[in-house]
Amino acid sequence: MAREVARIESSSLPLGDVMMVEIPENEDKLTALVLRTNTGVYGWLNACPHDGRSLCQDPVYLLNRKTGLIQCMHHQATFDPESGVCDDGPCVGGKLREVKTIEKDGQIAVLL
């Protein structure tokens, strides 16, 4: 069963923004990335499927502003922000690990 690791005010995540969320009691010190697109709120583990390193250190630089795709800072692999599928780079066909998000009553719950 998924457990809630964070709760975010919906108003703090406008369209096109990304937020980095700490995951408590996490041995690997990974974070979750929560972003809002035209179709909803999505969550991904901040880890590249290519080598496991963080996609970004600062969520401001996660989305490529020209393409709208998630881009890994280490080797520039790109991922669809809604499906998490890699479409370019060394992990083509791979997928980011989803972090469940539920938006309800003005809040976003982040679940693992």
The stretch 84-97 carries a mean pLDDT of 96
pLDDT for the residue numbered 3: 94
Per-residue model confidence as pLDDT tens digits over 34-75? 999 999 999 999 999 999 999 999 999 999 989 999 999 999
In angstroms, what CA-CA distances link 30 with 22, 27, 38, 97? Answer: 7, 8, 26, 12
Query: Which strands sit side by side in the sheet containing 107-111, from one edge to the other?
Result: 4-9, 107-111, 100-104
What does pTM read for this prediction? 0.94
pLDDT for the residue numbered 26: 85
Residue 22 has pLDDT above 90, yes or no: yes
